[in-house]
């Protein structure tokens, strides 16, 4: 349903270290995994030349944010030390900030020390898959850094999250979780908060589709909503396919997410997501006229 409720804001301006990100229309976050073991593109982008080329491509295709991850958080992923994460992340981040000074970079980490070092190196957003549950210093650190925080829901840990996840009412429990965490973040001085339901993180296929179907209910939290569906198992298990063949399914579900209020699409394939947004914008414009 396209019609926006007048009770909640549909427009947000997020301050990313002085760069203003306008979310009055949906935007794309491009994924840059500099890991050897991510579920889709692990090992593809470990050389500087390839990394720079990939980021250039995503920016030219219309990405508003580049999200850099130096640790795989797929179900069952091996733990990587904080030292190793920083060794992978910081040189790449510093190079990209210098090469693309106008770009907005987010850092995909659940460690407060890594988050601090990344912001000091030029990142502008902290994207934490654990919602502050893996590092109790994260909220205070982000509050001190005065940067936007991407708050994701996860049930369990990367090693346990897909072992029989259970909810009595998945959407209600997620909204309760976000309300509590948003209050904690604001008490720590964090005001630019983006929420991510965490598709595939401690959810069954049925849970994921229930969240997607009712995504518009998350507007009551008065925060921008991000959908991270790209090439995930909620597509592959239904279509009996693999991440490498899940682009069409990703586009279909991204379109559903847009129609239910998502303001950021986190994707591996920027051009296709950007096209989905442009078509959605035209559809919405016609809907408002009728």
Catalytic positions are 232, 266
Cα angle vertex 162, ends 156, 165, to 5°?
Answer: 70
Please, what's the b/e burial string for 273-290 (b: 16 or more CB within 10 A of its CB; e: otherwise)? Answer: bbebbeebeeebeeeeee
Question: Do strands 13-16 and 19-22 pair parallel, antiparallel, or not at all (unpaired)?
Answer: antiparallel
Q: What is the DSSP string of 58-87?
A: HHHTT-SEEEEESS--STTPPP--HHHHHH
Q: Closest by alpha carbon to 61, among 53, 51, 49?
A: 53
Rounded Cα distance between 53 and 51, Å, is 5
Torsion of CA 226, 230, 233, 237, to 10 degrees: 110
């Amino acid at each position: 349903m396209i019609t926006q409720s007048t009770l909640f804001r549909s427009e947000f301006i997020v301050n990313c270290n002085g760069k203003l990100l306008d979310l009055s229309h949906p935007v794309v976050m491009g994924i840059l995994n500099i890991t050897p073991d991510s579920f889709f593109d692990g090992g593809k982008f470990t050389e500087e030349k390839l990394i720079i080329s990939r980021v250039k491509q995503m920016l030219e295709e219309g990405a508003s944010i580049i999200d850099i991850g130096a640790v795989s958080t797929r179900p069952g992923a091996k733990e990587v030390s904080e030292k190793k994460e920083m060794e992978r992340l910081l040189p790449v981040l510093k190079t990209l900030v210098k090469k693309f000074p106008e770009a907005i970079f987010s850092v995909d980490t659940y460690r407060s020390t890594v988050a601090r070092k990344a912001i000091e190196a030029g990142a502008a957003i902290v994207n934490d898959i654990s919602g502050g549950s893996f590092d109790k210093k994260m909220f205070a650190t982000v509050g001190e850094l005065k940067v936007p925080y991407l708050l994701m829901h996860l049930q369990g840990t990367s090693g346990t999250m897909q072992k029989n996840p259970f909810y009595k009412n998945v959407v209600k429990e997620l909204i309760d979780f976000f309300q509590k965490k948003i209050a904690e973040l604001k008490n720590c001085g964090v005001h630019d908060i983006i929420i991510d339901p965490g598709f595939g993180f401690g959810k069954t296929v049925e849970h994921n589709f229930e969240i997607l179907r009712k995504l518009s209910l998350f507007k009551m939290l008065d925060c921008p909503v991000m959908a991270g569906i790209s090439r995930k198992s909620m597509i592959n298990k239904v279509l009996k396919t693999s991440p490498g063949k899940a682009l069409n399914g990703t586009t279909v579900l991204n379109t559903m997410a847009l129609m239910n209020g998502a303001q950021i699409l986190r994707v591996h394939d920027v051009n296709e997501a950007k096209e989905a947004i442009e078509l959605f914008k035209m559809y919405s414009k016609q809907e408002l006229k009728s």
